[in-house]
Structure 1
Amino acid sequence: MGHIAYFFQRRNTILLIQLGAVLLLISTALTWVTATGLPETAAAAEVNLLGGEMSPTLRAMGLVGVAGGVAATIARKWLRALIGAVLLGAGVISVIGAGLALSNPAAAAAPALADYTGVTETAAEYSVGFAVWLAVLGSVVLTLSSVAMLLFSPGWNDEKRSKKYSRGQAQAENPDEIDMWDDLSDGDDPTDKK
């Protein structure tokens, strides 16, 4: 468990969340399903349906993932748990949406296809593009990384690592110049011996 916790440090987990969300967003801009053999009353014989047209919810979940990943970089423990729960929900919704489009492309494409063709009749053939698999991959990565954030973020260090921008400990044992300046900012004169 120690190696897994080491891997899912703040930086790696946030990068995975962002990767999953970006893959999801990219997939919604690409062709998910190509419908061929449309009825004669349709305006076109073949229609390429983008992921965003077939499932606008997945695009929204990708945006939630990007925003949640950014928010998790600055959030403290209890807020990270809330963000992790929201990201987990977005990931699960994305997995379901991408899985439905992959398992039954005719049903997933029906509303968007009706908008294109103007008729509610189905096409003779539906071929699934690689972008659906990209959506599945992105949603799985988003889901797993949000679970990792829920599990491992309580162990993340919230203290600032850089002494340059952090407040010093007042009256530190072995003060350096930064600690003395911070003491002076706090109203304590470091040259004043008590």
Structure 2
Amino acid sequence: MTRRARLLCVAAILACGALGVLSSTQTWLTVVLDDGAGRTLDVPGASAIPVLAPLSLAVLALGGALSIVGVVLRYLFGGLTLLIAALLAWLTTQVAFTHPTSSVSSTVTEATGITGETAVEAMVASISATPWPVVTLAGWIVLLAAGVVTLATAHRWRGSGRRYRTDDTPRTTAAAGSRPHDAIDSWDDLSRGDDPTDRPLD
């Protein structure tokens, strides 16, 4: 059960991070300008929420790190996952349901050259949202749940595989003792900080 919880948490965090990165390139809002021609502009997620892409990449990094770190860092990374998920959920909710002018200002300024919140707001006739903000918000809710489960179960997760450890290799040592010391053994000794040239000659 604990192994399954770890697998689900890591997979969910990685999936949510990937969703955020993908969503940052998709159209979140459509703006109709009050310029006489009714020009329409598409606003991608990265423009609506400037921190969307970098924080999504951070989530991906956290998910990958959680699969190999020890107990203390699991709690730290689980807490960071919760904080990022809460922040992104709040920002995404604002864009999805209130469509603030600030989320389209950079796109409008780039298209028209008009700057200033008041001037941009006067230039915007209407703002409508695509399904992407709601889909992404659902991902952040899943990310929140994954962070909670991580904090609740992290102390029971097994550590990384012992085959990668150099301080707990009794079988390897026993096997090495049963045969002549060769060049490979000497390299292994050096990797453990043991200089084979200091050994007495047989």
Q: TM-score range by the shorter chain?
A: 0.7 to 0.9
Question: Which position in structure 1 is the counterpart of 2:199?
Answer: none
Identity %: 20
Aligned equivalents of 1:111, 1:124: Cα separation in 2: 13
Unaligned runs of 5+ in 1: 171-178
In the alignment, structure 1 residue 17 sits paired with structure 2 residue 18: no
Deviation at 1:169, TM superposition (A): 5.6
Aligned-residue RMSD, C-alpha: 2.4
1:73 corresponds to which of 64, 67, 74: 67
Cα displacement string for residues 59-104 of structure 1 (whole angstroms, at most 9, x for unaligned residues): 1210110011111111000011111111111111110110110121
The alignment's TM-score, normalised by the length of structure 2, stands at 0.74
Aligned equivalents of 1:25, 1:169: Cα separation in 2: 41
- Report 1:32-181 matches (<5 A): 32-36=28-32, 38-40=33-35, 45-115=39-109, 116-119=111-114, 120=120, 121-158=122-159, 160=161, 170=170, 179=171, 181=172
Cα displacement string for residues 114-149 of structure 1 (whole angstroms, at most 9, x for unaligned residues): 323323124222110111112212211222111211
Contact 1:68–1:83 under 8 Å retained in 2: yes
Aligned residue pairs, count: 171
Which amino acid in the other structure matches residue 133 of structure 2? V
Unaligned runs of 5+ in 2: 115-119, 180-202
In the alignment, structure 1 residue 183 sits paired with structure 2 residue 174: yes
- CA separation of 1:110 and 1:122: change in aligned 2, threshold 3 A: farther
Deviation at 1:12, TM superposition (A): 1.5
Q: Give the number of the structure whose alpha-carbon radius of gyration is greater.
A: 2
Which amino acid in the other structure matches residue 58 of structure 2? V
Contact 1:94–1:139 under 8 Å retained in 2: yes
The alignment's TM-score, normalised by the length of structure 1, stands at 0.77
- CA separation of 1:110 and 1:190: change in aligned 2, threshold 3 A: same
Contact 2:3–2:157 under 8 Å retained in 1: no
Question: Which position in structure 1 is the counterpart of 2:196?
Answer: none
Aligned equivalents of 1:74, 1:41: Cα separation in 2: 58
Aligned equivalents of 1:159, 1:63: Cα separation in 2: 23
SS at 1:74 equivalent: coil
Contact 1:32–1:48 under 8 Å retained in 2: yes
Aligned equivalents of 2:15, 2:160: Cα separation in 1: 26
In the alignment, structure 1 residue 26 sits paired with structure 2 residue 17: no
